[in-house]
Chains A and B, each alone.
Chain A
Amino acid sequence: MTRAEWEQQLASDYKHRGRRKTDFCSDSRISLPDLYDEESLKNSGFDSQRDLGFPGTYPYTRGIYPSMYRADFWIMGQYSGFGNPEATNERFKFLLSQGQTALALALDLPTQLGLESDQELADGEVGKAGVAINSLQDMEAIFAGIPLDQVRQVFTTANAIGPIMLALFLALGEKQGVDPRRFTIVLQNDILKEYVARGTYIFPPTPSLKFTNDALEYCTRHLPHFKPLVICGSHMRQGGASAVQEVAFTLANAQAYIDEAVGRGLDVDDFAPSLECQLSVPMNLFEEVAKYRAFRRMWARLLKDRYGAKKPESMKCFIRVYTTGYTMTAQQPLNNIVRVAIEALAAILGGAQSLSANAMDEVLSIPTREAAQVALMTQHILANETGIADVVDPLGGSYYIESMTNTIEASALELMQQIADKGGAQKAIEAGFYQGIIRRAAGEYQKEIEKGERVIVGLNRFVDDKHKMKIESFKADEGVQQRVIQKLHGLKSNRDNEKVRGCLCALEQDIRAGKNTVPALIDCARAYATIGEMCQVLGDVWGTYKEGASWL
């Protein structure tokens, strides 16, 4: 049968059986034909030799390792942390007892913003969205009985305070008597996206970008196995960006960091292997799989062609994935288990290296222990029961996936050019370019839901007002703030305050002299200076950043 003959059959099929919709498109509004075949692949400019290669070889479309999950499953590190350090320590031990292989530490907002727990602005938010950390003392409590070399890696969402958390982990390693060469710290430490979507910036963009790179430079010179910078698209995606926009924004931000590091005289092959990227995974399964494949290829080409990287490690992109918040519904919350499973499936079919699966109740509160367990077990089920991890890049060669991969790459390159025309990522963000795109996209998404054009089960279709799906909800311990503050006050009256002052003075001198801040921060951490005190010193020199009100 020829393609033309088949199309005749298709037309008559539609005539008899009708058509669900006139137009089909992906979440990124990539128009979807009835069928992808050899010809579509040819039309998308596909060249197997150039675009695919083998897994573990340039351009890494098929994965960064030749063996992928046949050697080992992906890293399972569920993002967790809440209340005071003792509560988080208990949750960590539980997750490790359930076969979790890495730790991902969630920090409360005061900690992420460099506020001490007793400051007025912190009131009501201590220990809420993560654990409250003021000093090394709290790190010791969080990791009591968990030596840092007992897990594959420890990740944390320090962004504005990235180098400070690095210093705290190094001081903690000394306290635990574990050589830093035997553990791996992963810092999110990506400040640019904070001005776009996540919001935990403290200082203005220019000094912040330098501060981020202090951690990158320090690790490159002293701890090359650490991962001091995870460039994130996931938060911008959660804010409303499409898959294509997520890819373009992330890679444009990556260029800003790489340019800064190269500008400091670092060799790209010395630091690029330690960079990682974090992407989101909403429900549009095939587009998501194609997105990871396109992203890896674009990363490899960017590093090789633009930055002249020579080492294969520089061109391999380690991808961390978080399942998505905005796809969850507060209505019929048990359905979120299914959504998380499908998103996690897409991430693994796309070749991710690390995965954090959301708990079904995160749309309502901090996860209960039970919900957190179901999320982790979802990963174990995918790994052990489905066989999806048994063959390398199982969807590679699919007409649909390969065409989609090419389309995403081409569209993202176009958007990256627009960002370059605006003077690069930092300038584009300062001008509100990313933010405008994201705001519009999120607004349109909501409109589609309200018009019923986009079906969300249990929300705008298959709604059941009669029977309410009830799940147990997490009860925040309201006494936490008081206990954390008491501990902080106890620390300040017991530590060597003279020594703390000396360390903070030395930090200020280093900042003013334009030196790398990490060595001075390590001294501050060892002396039990608080994160708040360190940020105060930084802010005195650099100033702080504020978003202003705007008419829409």
Chain B
Amino acid sequence: MVMKSSRRIPRVLIAKIGLDGHNRGAQVVAYGLRDAGMEVIYTGIRQIAAGVAKTAVEEDVDVIGVSSMVGAHLAVLKRLKRELEALHAADIPVMMGGIIPEEDYDELRELGAGAIFPPGSEVKNIVQYILGVTNGIMDSGSSGNLVRQ
């Protein structure tokens, strides 16, 4: 996949969908991605899928990350994918994070999860995934800036 515009820096939307207010994971990821030089929007908690899809399109993001800590991950991803399709934006990769049992990984992938990051995941692996799907690379000057491949 090529990046949507000529910008060099991946733009990521970190979202909390549904009623779950556990926001530490989402915020840590958002903080870490920004620290790695990415542009990050955090939706705040308790968003609806339609609103997240709309923000993703309006802000022209490259990747959406969804955090779920209360066992609603399957329902949440289904809803988000449906809303993205309705906006003709089903090609935006979606990564899932949070308390997600391994038994659900296959089903999540079938539903279109590009990556799954359970508790204990490192931000650098999330950075790698994003760089992989956006064809971005880290500037070797390690200034935290990102350049296109």
Contacts and interface: CB of A to CB of B under 8 A. Distances in A.
Contact of A439 (B31, B43, B118, B119): B31
A552 B46 contact: no
A239 interface: yes
A542 to B, nearest CB: 17
A128 B71 contact: yes
A121 B48 contact: yes
Interface stretch (A221-229, A274-282, A323-331, A389-397): A323-331
Interface in B81-104: 99, 101, 103
A552 B31 contact: yes
B139 interface: no
B145 interface: no
Given A128-B71, A128-B72, A442 B27 contact: yes
Contacts of B76: 124
B125 to A, nearest CB: 10
Contacts of B44: 546-550
A388 interface: no
B7 to A, nearest CB: 15
A199 B28 contact: no
Contact of B21 (A128, A200, A450): A200
Nearest to A200: B21
B116 interface: no
Interface residues of B, number: 40
A440 B35 CA distance: 11
A11 interface: no
A449 B31 CA distance: 14
Tell me the dominant secondary structure on chain A's binding face. loop
Interface in B7-24: 18-24
A363 interface: yes
A149 to B, nearest CB: 33
B55 A549 contact: yes
B73 to A, nearest CB: 9
A364 B99 contact: yes
Given A113-B19, A129-B71, A443 B120 contact: no
Interface string B22-55: 1110011011101100011111111110000001
A122 interface: yes
A113 B47 CA distance: 14
Given A199-B22, A200-B21, A238-B24, A129 B70 contact: yes
B42 A446 contact: no
Contact of A199 (B45, B75, B99, B101): B45
Contacts of B43: 549
B123 interface: yes
B19 A122 contact: yes
Contact of A198 (B21, B71, B120): B21
A239 B25 CA distance: 9
A329 B119 CA distance: 7
A476 B103 CA distance: 12
Nearest to A238: B24
Contacts of B120: 329-331, 459
B122 interface: yes
A121 B43 CA distance: 17
A263 B70 CA distance: 38
Contact of A443 (B18, B28, B74, B75): B28
Nearest to A548: B44
B101 A473 contact: yes
Interface string A102-129: 0000000110010100000111110011
B4 interface: no
Contacts of B34: 552
B124 interface: yes
A163 B107 CA distance: 41
Interface string A360-397: 00011110000000000000000000000000000000
Interface of B: 18-24, 27-28, 30-32, 34-35, 39-48, 55, 70-72, 74-76, 99, 101, 103, 118-120, 122-124
Q: Which 7 A-B pairs have the closest CB atoms?
A: A199-B21, A124-B75, A443-B31, A547-B44, A109-B19, A330-B119, A129-B70
Given A199-B45, A443-B28, A549-B43, 15 more contacts: A109-B18, A122-B19, A329-B120, A331-B120, A366-B71, A440-B31, A447-B35, A449-B122, A473-B101, A546-B44, A549-B44, A549-B55, A550-B44, A551-B41, A552-B30
21 contacts: A121-B18, A121-B19, A121-B48, A124-B18, A125-B75, A194-B21, A197-B21, A199-B23, A328-B119, A330-B118, A330-B119, A330-B120, A363-B99, A439-B31, A446-B31, A473-B103, A476-B71, A549-B41, A550-B44, A552-B34, A552-B42
